Amino acid sequence: MSDRLPPLTALRAFDAAARHMSFARAAEELNVTPAALSFQIKSLEEHLGAPLFRRLNRAVELTEAGQALAPGAEDGFRALSVAWQQARRVLDTTSLTVTAGPALTAKWLAPRLYEFARAHPEIDLRLSAGLRMMDLRRDGVDVAIRFGYGSDQGLASYPARAEWLTPVMTPDLAARYPTPEALRRAPLIYDDSISFLSPACDWPTWFRAQGLEFTPGSGIHFSNADHAIDAACTGVGVALGRRPMIIKDVMEGRLVAPFKLAIETEARFRFLCLPEAEERPQIKAFREWFFAEIEKTAHMWDDFEIIPVKDL
Amino acid sequence: MSDRLPPLTALRAFDAAARHMSFARAAEELNVTPAALSFQIKSLEEHLGAPLFRRLNRAVELTEAGQALAPGAEDGFRALSVAWQQARRVLDTTSLTVTAGPALTAKWLAPRLYEFARAHPEIDLRLSAGLRMMDLRRDGVDVAIRFGYGSDQGLASYPARAEWLTPVMTPDLAARYPTPEALRRAPLIYDDSISFLSPACDWPTWFRAQGLEFTPGSGIHFSNADHAIDAACTGVGVALGRRPMIIKDVMEGRLVAPFKLAIETEARFRFLCLPEAEERPQIKAFREWFFAEIEKTAHMWDDFEIIPVKDL
DNA sequence: GTATCACTCAAGAATTTCTTGACTGAGGCT
DNA sequence: AGCCTCAGTCAAGAAATTCTTGAGTGATAC
């Protein structure tokens, strides 16, 4: 009748039995004989002072106390198991889990995965795309790449340079709208995923940088930046794209960035990891590769004039 | 280097050591000698294949692997401990935890607690007021009393009769506004906690039941029903109150319900508990007392005309 | 009416876990 | 500098636990 935790082996046996609703299968799971399992359950029941299972002759059934114990026990052991795997993952120098937004994943990371795999064949890289800010310590993620102003408390944070945006479109559309003035009449694509930026970094801002008035009319809106760029690739309109999102499509000729003017926000991508994990070999390798890869294409924008939005 | 869970005793030793950041204190917590604890940690490190603590001479410090393991381990053991307490609570026939909304708790349950304690001195009743729907199985609550239309899936549900509302006020105010027509000019108190009812069960509905037009003007709004009734008690206005909320104040003369007309909603209070706990002695006792207590005062409203809102 | 299935029991074996008591090495105190 | 204390470690043996074996039980299925 103790108030503290019962013997954990017994509790574990109960968890398995409750999950399988069978002592025999639970015993199999734990690699012990049914007799041992039966004994453990019995000892747990003795600790509690009441039966946890009702023994029907061909089956077992949880008593009320058993029903109260089972879900929490399962949660608890699952938590322990996850924690143990986390610890093991730290030791694993061959795998690396990276989380990034869907757009960066689709437009920048995924196309370069092959490159990285070739440069580091020993590392097994996994991508986890999602906007939810994951808890690096609890969710088993080694690296997060996030866009924004970012406070990044408690994390090692390597900021990339400030991000800027410039109009991109198919060569066809570029021919049809050769000047910024003409562009105002083009079908415009809006990327709502960066509407949180302040000061804003949108179409009116870009035209303002050109010294042109512009009031947004109708247009196509996308909640993901990669969808906006994809739409531009199909030629339905002109998108205002961030560097990493457009680089691939520009290099491969699907899109052009004919106006050599970009507006720059203070927001940027940051490479984040746990401070104690900064020097793990696979994280260090990925970090160095990541920033080198950015530098590789930096020259492409040498002839762009970049105007900070805060000056507009 | 096994992928499955390590010996749980060792994991438990690690958890204690990580929480205290001291082997000696962890050993004390677990009632073992420091040597035993040291041995357990060492065996866990052997399982993992790497050290979990860095031994500095006067202190210990978590390694990276240790930092990865510690928070999850703590969560896990906490979950197990909570689960075990749940199981023990089921066996405890002396205590009973009831959750109800703040209004019912304040206006109906709390004033009757003494009665219940006298009728069942062996039961230790605890109230937990809050709107959040608690998970009876996980939150250690035995009984929930909730108001609404209620689907109550997976729970044993004992509905009380449909609820109705009638105007209540101090005797002073009742003298000043003797007729329903006059009441329209009285300061009215609005209880926003029942604004979710559909069809609505508010002042315009009540006046409609009287055959009177009424458009709500200004008035005092409360988000809790008990605050609305309390306000009526101070004489600042007239409230439209549900039976359980007004009964005490009406019986004790602070409020009167001079108009013998009530509007009835389909919503009602339900007494909820886990199906497997229905017959636990303290739950059964409380349930029977609860419904008997409602019946006791039913005669008070014998002369009321009750009009379902769905007929209005 | 027999076979089978799922769990139980008891005794002894195997394994884990604990204690004792001596040991180590660093920091603090005189 | 020298000594003490503190926190953790080690090794051997003791204690406790957990497991297996092999027989047993009773209800259901065929």
B1 pLDDT higher than 60: no
Asked which of A90, A105, A130 is the last residue of a domain, the reply is A90
Q: Which residue has the higher pLDDT, B137 or B268?
A: B268
Is there a contact between A72 and B90 if contact means CB atoms under 8 Å apart?
no
Instruction: Flag whether B294 is in a domain.
Output: yes
Is there a contact between B71 and A91 if contact means CB atoms under 8 Å apart?
no
Q: Strand D within 7 Å of which CB atoms in B 71-100?
A: none
Q: Are residues B263 and B309 in contact, defined by beta-carbon separation less than 8 angstroms?
A: yes
- Indicate the residue of B9, B50, B69 with minimum beta-carbon distance to A86: B69
Q: Which residues of B touch A (CB under 8 A)?
A: 3-6, 8-9, 11-12, 48-50, 52, 64-73, 75-91, 137-138, 274, 276-277, 280
Asked which of A63, A90, A117 is the last residue of a domain, the reply is A90
Instruction: Flag whether A25 is in a domain.
Output: yes
- Indicate the residue of A8, A75, A82 with minimum beta-carbon distance to B9: A8
Instruction: Flag whether A1 is in a domain.
Output: no
User: Which domain CATH number covers B107?
Assistant: 3.40.190.10
C24 C1': nearest CA residue? B57
A2 pLDDT higher than 60: no
Q: Are residues A221 and A185 in the same domain?
A: yes
pLDDT in tens, A67-79: 999 999 999 999 9
Kindly indicate the confidence band of residue B261, based on its pLDDT and cuts at 50, 70 and 90. very high
pLDDT for the residue B133: 66
Cβ of B125 less than 7 A from strand C: no
- Indicate the residue of B86, B274, B277 with minimum beta-carbon distance to A69: B86
Cβ of B62 less than 7 A from strand D: no
Task: Please compute the mean of the pLDDT values over residues A282-300 and round it to a whole number.
Answer: 95
Asked which of B62, B90, B118 is the last residue of a domain, the reply is B90
Other residues' Cβ atoms within 10 Å of the Cβ of residue B131: 14
Q: Are residues A27 and A133 in the same domain?
A: no
Rg from Cα positions in chain A: 28
Q: Are residues A19 and A149 in the same domain?
A: no
Question: B148-152, B163-167, B202-206: which has the minimum mean pLDDT?
Answer: B148-152
State the best of A45, A47, A52, A88 to mutate against chain B, taking most chain B CBs within 10 Å: A88
pLDDT for the residue A133: 66
Nearest of A242, A100, A83 to residue A167 by alpha carbon: A242
Q: Are residues A237 and A106 in the same domain?
A: yes
Instruction: Flag whether A132 is in a domain.
Output: yes
Cβ of A40 less than 7 A from strand C: no
pLDDT in tens, B27-77: 999 999 999 999 999 999 999 999 999 988 778 899 999 999 999 999 999
Please tell me the distance in Å from B68's CA to the nearest CA on chain A. 5
Instruction: Flag whether A204 is in a domain.
Output: yes
Instruction: Flag whether B210 is in a domain.
Output: yes
The fraction of chain A above a pLDDT of 90, given in percent, is 83
A130 pLDDT higher than 80: no
Question: B19-23, B134-138, B217-221, B286-290: which has the minimum mean pLDDT?
Answer: B134-138
Q: Which residue has the higher pLDDT, B275 or B255?
A: B255
A135 pLDDT higher than 90: no
Q: Are residues A63 and A127 in the same domain?
A: no
Q: Which residues of A touch B (CB under 8 A)?
A: 3-6, 8-9, 11-12, 48-50, 52, 64-73, 75-91, 137-138, 274, 276-277, 280
The two tokens of residue B97 are 């935890």
The nucleotide lying nearest A25 (C-alpha to C1') is C6
Is there a contact between B87 and A280 if contact means CB atoms under 8 Å apart?
no
Specify the number of domains making up chain B: 3
pLDDT in tens, A32-88: 999 999 999 999 999 999 999 998 877 899 999 999 999 999 999 999 999 999 999
pLDDT for the residue B3: 65
Q: Are residues A82 and A132 in the same domain?
A: no
State the best of B15, B69, B80, B278 to mutate against chain A, taking most chain A CBs within 10 Å: B80
Cβ of A9 less than 7 A from strand D: yes
pLDDT for the residue A63: 92
Q: Are residues B137 and B261 in the same domain?
A: no
pLDDT for the residue A1: 44
Q: Are residues B283 and B154 in the same domain?
A: yes
Distance, CA of A50 to C1' of C9, in Å: 19
Q: Which residue has the higher pLDDT, B151 or A191?
A: A191
Mean pLDDT of chain B: 92
Q: Are residues A283 and A145 in the same domain?
A: yes
Is there a contact between A76 and B77 if contact means CB atoms under 8 Å apart?
yes
Is there a contact between B71 and A6 if contact means CB atoms under 8 Å apart?
no
> Chain B residue closest to A278 (CA)?
B64
pLDDT for the residue A148: 93
Kindly indicate the confidence band of residue B159, based on its pLDDT and cuts at 50, 70 and 90. very high
Q: Are residues A154 and A84 in the same domain?
A: no
- Indicate the residue of B50, B76, B78 with minimum beta-carbon distance to A91: B50
Cβ of B34 less than 7 A from strand D: yes
Distance, CA of B23 to C1' of D30, in Å: 61
Task: Please compute the mean of the pLDDT values over residues B86-112 and round it to a whole number.
Answer: 92
Q: Are residues A144 and A72 in the same domain?
A: no
Per CB-CB distance under 8 Å, the chain A contacts of B6 are 84
Cβ of A7 less than 7 A from strand D: yes
Kindly indicate the confidence band of residue A3, based on its pLDDT and cuts at 50, 70 and 90. low
Task: Please compute the mean of the pLDDT values over residues B101-112 and round it to a whole number.
Answer: 94
Q: Are residues A249 and A255 in contact, defined by beta-carbon separation less than 8 angstroms?
A: yes
B93 pLDDT higher than 90: no
Q: Are residues A108 and A65 in the same domain?
A: no
Per CB-CB distance under 8 Å, the chain B contacts of A83 are 68-73, 75-76
- Which residue range forms the structural domain that includes residue A34? 8-90
State the best of A40, A74, A90, A273 to mutate against chain B, taking most chain B CBs within 10 Å: A90
User: Which domain CATH number covers B58?
Assistant: 1.10.10.10
Is there a contact between B85 and A3 if contact means CB atoms under 8 Å apart?
yes
Instruction: Flag whether B2 is in a domain.
Output: no
Instruction: Flag whether A3 is in a domain.
Output: no
Amino acid at B220: I
DSSP assignment of chain A:
--SSPPPHHHHHHHHHHHHHT-HHHHHHHTTS-HHHHHHHHHHHHHHHTS-SEEE-SS-EEE-HHHHHHHHHHHHHHHHHHHHHHHHHHHH-SSEEEEEE-HHHIIIIIHHHHHHHHHH-TT-EEEEEE-SS---TTTTT-SEEEEEES---TTSEEEE-PPPEEEEEB-HHHHHHS-SHHHHTTSPEEEEGGGTT-SS--SHHHHHHHTT------S-EEESSHHHHHHHHHTTS-EEEEEHHHHHHHHHTTS-B--S-EEEE-S-EEEEEE-GGGTT-HHHHHHHHHHHHHHHHTGGGGTT-EEEEGGG-
Count of pairs with CB atoms under 8 A, one residue in A, one in B:
127
Please tell me the distance in Å from A43's CA to the nearest CA on chain B. 14
Task: Please compute the mean of the pLDDT values over residues A174-198 and round it to a whole number.
Answer: 95
Please tell me the distance in Å from B14's CA to the nearest CA on chain A. 12
